[in-house]
Every structure is written in structure tokens, then in C-alpha cells.
Structure 1
Amino acid sequence: MQLTSIFIYCLIPELRQDLPGKKIKRILISQDKKNILILVRDKNEQKGLFFSSHPDFFRTEILSEKEIQGGKINFSPTSFFKHLENTRIQKIEQLDFDRVINISCIRKTKEKEERLDLVMELTGRNSNLILKRSKDERILDCLKKIDPQKSRYRQIGIGLKYNPPPHPEKKNPFKIEKESFEKLLKEEKEKEVGKFLIQTFNGLDDNLSQRICYDSFLKPDAKINQLSPQQKTRFWENFCNIIKDLKIYKISPRIILDENKNPTSLSLFDLPSLSQDKKLEFEKLNSALKEFFKQKIEKEKFIKQKTNLSLLIHKNIFRLEKRLVKLEKDQEEAKDYQKYKRFGDLLIFYQTRIKKGKDKIILKDAFEETQPEVEIEINPLLSPLKNAQAYFKKYKKSKEGQKVIKTRLEKTNSETKELENLLSELEKKEKLSNLEKIKDRLLKLGYSRKKEKIKKEKKKKKLKYSPREFSTSEGLKILVGKSQQENDYLTFHIAKSYDLWFHAQDVGGSHVILKKQTKDQSPSKESITQAAKAAAYFSQARESSKV
């Protein structure tokens, strides 16, 4: 969900209610440099103006003193926007009905009066916070610098003159007349009414489109050329009703939920077509925004942590299963440890008859009544006595090894079962707080490291990795690890929580990541097949007919 120009329009009155007249005291920044917290105060209270340039969660919010003290994000003082400190907020406005908010500030002294503008550009991945002088539009500071290499059309940097983002080509819904609306309907007669609203008018999102269609007794997928004159008139009237309410900020913010109670979008009006259990109502848009993004961010963290835990558990189950195969093989070899003693006894019994230089001999078993022939492999460089001693040593080691192997098998089976149970438990978890018990258990089992150890690891010099890279037929990246370390780096550092992970089943092989371009993208079946083939090819089962 993106903040549209209409959301910004409706948020402006709430910003004006809380901020003008307050003095900017401190500027704080988050560790990832994506979030800024501006602390403002008057005689009565302290508030926080929060801005995020996060590509998925870009937004601005007003925080109460309680929320600031509660530590919404780990912030620290910064030299960014130092010119803004000790100025007083005067005016807040939306620039040109775009996703841009201009906050005018003033600093008065006996000698001079300085006017500054803090510009919040809430434009998706390009979201930015810019401070400029009002008199000459020169930029004093910015959260993100944009040089000619990043954009030929618009540069942002200290000392440059500020140019606003390109204006949307869509129509302003607040300035449309009936005649123009009817003309647009004729021009776009092949379109569905829902898409017509979203694609024609700046700021109209899917929820507003649904509400206008609902009030007009139209299905969003109804074609314009199939509407009767009466339906077109009703369509225009209900469009006007919604725009009229928006103009005077007569809104009823709601968070829209999916079947699992997860937030999917924000709506400025009630959506009567949805059942009540799929909507959360709020008095203020700012409150709805805060709750919506709080839940979305928590869900994102949950998915990421759950995915990482799942990969960690799968990785260790795979490692234990490999160990189990080796132990079972060792156990099978050590099962006949008595024969090594018999070989040693026979070599001593016949030592005078055995000539040095042979790699195997056939002897009659003198200790059996029937005296069957026994083939014994020997080292041609050693004497019969030395070969006998080697077999006695192997006998002793195998005999003791049986006990060790049995203990290790029991432990390995126990750990595998516990990890499988943890994996089953993990799959049922739906909240971030529910993952702590699983983390603690993995820590006790030795499969997870404490934060202190992780911090020390991060201080070490980072290794450079260059995984194999391919492209699918639809242009998606396929990344393939070249080593165990690179596999781990690829899975835990490069891959996003929504990317697709591939690995050949039950055999060693490379980790393969199919990179999605956006979180909501669904790769084609062909892309998934190509990534799966890469995982099969870069595995120990490459030559198998079935992987």
C-alpha cells in the first residue's frame, strides 16, 4: 500500500493541529539512516514528527511524548538538519496536490529573521527529506543525495536549487467538471469503471474506487461502454459526493484486514461491501497510519525471522541426516569387529609360512573344525606380525567404537527429532512474540548464537562473495552459491524473506535463490522450473535421472 496524494491531503489538517507554533528542539536519526525523528515542544507538551524513507514503509507520523519515551525506534543525535534546530514551525501545506509536504519554519533573532522549508517527499523508493532556504530555494541538507549518475533529470544535494518531483500526469479529482468527466468516459469507454477511476485521477486508490462503485450500484469490473445514461449520471454524482467529503476532510479512516486479520490497506471511508470483522475504525488518520504500519512492520519482521529460523532448522536437520548416514555406515563396518581379532590370530599362527610382499593371502582357519579358507588383506610392506598387530588395533578400536557410535546415533536421532518438532511448532506460529521460545531452545541446543557473539562476528573483516548469476526467461535473477560459506551468505544475507529458495533434496548442493523484483510478484512457472533445474545441476545428484 502506498500513501497517495489524497492521503497526504487528508493528513495535513492533523499535522496543522499538532505542530504549528512548536519549537524544534532536537533532530534524531535511526541506525539505518532511513528514519528521522524531529522533537518539537511548546510550553505544554513535547511531540515527535517522524519521517521514514523506507522503500516499503515510507510515511510520516505524529508521535506523542509517551511514544517517544517508549523508544519506537533506536534513535541517536545527528548532525543532519542541524540548521533546523531552534526554529519554530509556522505553516504546513501540501505542494501542488502531490505526495509532498512543505513545513515552513522560522528562526528569529535580534539581528535577523531566517526562514527555512522542510520538504517531505513521500514518493515511494525515492522518498526523501530535504531542508532548503525559503528565499533562494537552495538546499541546506537532505537525507538522500541524488547525483547525475542516479538521475539525469533531477539532482538533490547541498547548495543545489530545489526542484520538486515531476508532477503526476493524472487529473486532479478536486478540479474536474461534469463536462470533462463525461468526455473522459467517452475517451476511455473500453475500460472498466474501477480501473478508469484509479488510472485517470491522481490519488484515487482501489478502496476509494470500490466505494464510489458501491455507492453507484456498479461492479468495479463493469465496462464503461455498457453503462446506461442513468448509470453514468449516478456514477458522476457519487464521484462528486466522495470528492466533496474529501475536500472538507470528512473521512472515516479504516484499516482493511484479510482473512487472517493481517492489514492489507488503508481506506479513508467505510467499505460497506466488507464484513465488519475485516475493518478497524479510527477517529484520526494519523492513528490509523501508525497502527497500519506498526502491524505491517511487525509482520515483515515476523516473516523474516520465521524464514531465517526455518532455514536454520532445515540446515541443521540436513547436517544431522548426513551425520546419521555416516554413523550407520560406521556402525555396519564396526559390527564385525570380531573378525579383525581372528585375522590377527591367523596371521600370527601362520607367520612363518607367510612371505612379505603380498597384498592378500588365503589361509585355512585353524580355529574352526571345518577349517574354511579365509581371505585376508595385508600390507605388503609390513611383516606378518606387524599386519597382525594392525588388525588387533583395528579390533580394539572397532569394539570401543561400537559404544561411541551407539551413543552418537542416539544423540543424533534425538536432536533430529527435536529439530523436526521445533520446525512443526514454528510452522504454527503466527506472531513475532511466539518465536522467542523457539529461539531460546535453538540457543540451548547450540544452533543459535548469542547477540554478543554475533556482534563480534560482524566486527570481523567481511569476506567478498560472488555467487553464480543467471537470468530466467522473464528476466528474474537466479543466484547460485559456490561454497558452504557462500551458501550461508546467499541465504541469510542476500536473500529477502519473500525470495524463493531452492536446494536439491537429500544430497549436498548449492543454495539457489530466485530473486523477486517486488514482494508481491509471483514468478512464472517457467522461472521456478529454471531455478529448480539450477539447484539440481549444482548438486551431487547432477548425473541422476531424477532429483
Structure 2
Amino acid sequence: TYHLNCQTFTQIRHQLYQKLGNLIRKLRSKVEDFQQRLQRSENADQFRQRADLLMAYLHEWKPGLTIITLADFETGQPVTISLDPTKNAVQNAQSLYKRHQKLKRSRQAIEPLLAKSRDELNYLEHVEAAIAQQETYHSANDLALLNEIKMELIEQGYLDGDPARQPKRESRPSFHCYESPNGFEILIGRNNHQNDHLTFRVATDYDLWFHTQEIPGSHVLLRLPPGAVPDEADLQVTANLCAYYSRARQSEQVPVIYTNPKRVFKPKGARPGMVVYTHETVIWGKPQAVDPLQGQMSPDAE
């Protein structure tokens, strides 16, 4: 069974990595394209301003002009405007107004598309980071985690398959579990399903919730009994683990935030593992300081 599971684990991991790699490449290209188009549309107001100037200084225009230099309304600085010599001043101004409207419409259309693509990219990068952490097969738990990720991608429409026919999710999540210097439990989600479970079902108002800042990674919980106050060493070790279980594992220093779990919210319609947070404090995590086997405990969290 071990060898069969090991083989299945390797196959699924490769399949998921390949699929995600293709999706992420396409999305990055799409985001870049939208950003370039948005940048081009940033000049929209410039065209309106030039059209306004031309209309205000109609008396300065002469037939056959290809450029005209006029004083800016606010600064008085000279503004040079290119003209179509076959059109009069009003027609040139109308052309500029039309370009302004076209670019403005373009910007209004692109902004929501860019936001949607960025959200999707962020989500898929989180999934990729979770797979990257499942490097080798050790136990049936590892295969179950990969199957959960596969099921999530089927449910989200990225992979073909029937969610009902996939292996059942673990009823008791196998979080990574560590002990802080003062004996507090540190729990780490290993995929998006576990991240949601940890943040919205396990966490209490006494705990502290950690995540890498603007970097895909695991949800991390420093569990605290009522009235307990963690010291700097507890916070640092948790931040180091948070940085280690993220896409920035190879970095020297990684910005990590922590906040109270009640300050972590799931936006309506958000994908698994995606959250927003407020009232955060930033701390620098050092992933290179982590020995993944040191301080590891058997999880007993529900």
C-alpha cells in the first residue's frame, strides 16, 4: 500500500503542478496585458484638457496648423497640441473629446477585469504554494491532503471530474503542529480547506492569527489560553514558521502580519482560503531559522 500511495501521490502532485503552472502563466500574461491597457488609458484626462484649451482659445487657431501651443489654465505652462490640418479648431477639439471618452470607457471596462484576474491569480498561487509544501510522501495524510486540493480545483472548475466521486475530506484535519518557546501550540493549515477550518472553526478570540503579507502561504494560529500573553520569542517563532510555510520559504526575511482571529473575514463569494484582515501588526519572519522537525508535535486540534 505504501508504494502504491507513494506512486499515486507523485502522479497527482505532478498533474496538479502542471495544470496550475499553465493556468498561472496565462493569468500573469492576462494581468500584464490589462495593466498595459490601463496605463494607456491613464492619459484620458489629458485629451479632455487639451480639447478644453483648444475650445477656449479658438481665436489662436489658423487654417493649416499641425501643432498649436497654448497656456495651461491652472499653471500657465505651455501645452503643445497636435492638430489635424484638414480639420478646423472645433473639429480637432471634438476628436480629442472622442479620444477622451473612448479611453475612459476602456479604463472602466478594464479595471474590474484586472481586479478579477488578480484575485484569481492570487488564489491559484496560494494553491500552488500549498502543493509546493507537500514535497514527499510520508503517510496516508499526505495523499489525503493532495486529494483535497484536487477536489477543490474540481469544485472551482479548474479540473474536470465529479466532486461526488472524489475521496472524502478528512473529518479531522492534519494540521502541522508546533510548540512555541513558552509551550503555546502553533497550528498551520496545509491546504485551503484546512486554512478555512483553522481560521473560522478552530480559532478563538484569545488566539493570534498569522499570515505572510501579500505572499501566498498557510494560515497560522498561535493558540493562547484566556489571559495568556505571548512574549517576543513566541511571536518570532510563529512568524518564522509562517514565512517557512509560504511561497517565500527561500527568502532571508519575510513580512508577516498577525491579528486577532475576529479581525479576519471571508468576503462574500471568496474562494477557499481567501480572506481579508484588519488591525494587523507586521513582524519579520525568518524562514531559514526553521528546522521543520524541531518543536513539531502531534496535532490534537479538532
TM-score bucket (shorter structure) = 0.3 to 0.5
User: Which has the higher relative contact order, 1 or 2, with Cα contacts under 8 A spaced 6 or more apart?
Assistant: 2
Decide which structure has greater strand share: 1
> What TM-score, normalized to structure 2?
0.42
Q: Which has the larger radius of gyration?
A: 1
